[in-house]
Amino acid sequence: VKHEPLRIAVLLSDHAAARVLEDARNTDWIAVVFSEPSTHRTVQFKGREITFAPAGWAEHRLAADYVERLVAELSGLGYPADVIRAVLAQEPGELVRGEFTPVLSVDQTPGSRMAALVPAQEDRRGS
């Protein structure tokens, strides 16, 4: 049985993340960080084989849901909901779906232990 490689999808604003998108397209490398503010749990993924496409209806719905969950998370820490929504606001058609194959993951959760490096999977390009 052949298994497909793990792929991670992220949603980006093509306006706010223009430099990130350009760099990823030019280098075929991307790094993303996921963090849960209330616990400080943080994981970074680095990857290759990046593809970009305009976000569809499902991705726009997912992004709107994410904004509301982040508002709930951060407002519980004392941040104003209207500021969070303003920072994450985007114009229609601005959302881009980026997808990549992770080659490395790093647990960056603060604490007494060093960051744990975990190979996500072998880089098939040998780089």
Backbone φ and ψ of 61, nearest 5°: -65, -40
Boundaries of domain holding 12 = 8-63+92-111
103: in domain: yes
Q: Tell me if 83 is assigned to some domain.
A: no
d(CA 121, CA 118) in angstroms, rounded, equals: 9
The residues near 92 (Cβ < 8 Å, ≥ 6 apart) are none
- What does the pLDDT read at residue 120? 59
Tokens found for residue 2? 């052949």
| Mean pLDDT across 92-107 | 92
Higher local confidence (pLDDT), 120 or 32: 32
Q: Say what the pLDDT of residue 111 is.
A: 73
- Whether 59 is covered by a domain: the verdict is yes
CA distances (Å), origin 121, targets 5, 43, 50: 8, 16, 15
Q: Supply the pLDDT for residue 112.
A: 58
Does 127 reside within a domain?
no
Residue 121 has pLDDT above 70, yes or no: no
- Domain annotation covers residue 98: yes
Residue 126 lies in a domain: no
Number of structural domains (the chain) is 1
Q: How much is the pTM? A: 0.80
The answer to whether residue 81 is domain-embedded is: no
Q: Looking at the domain assignment, is residue 122 inside a domain? A: no
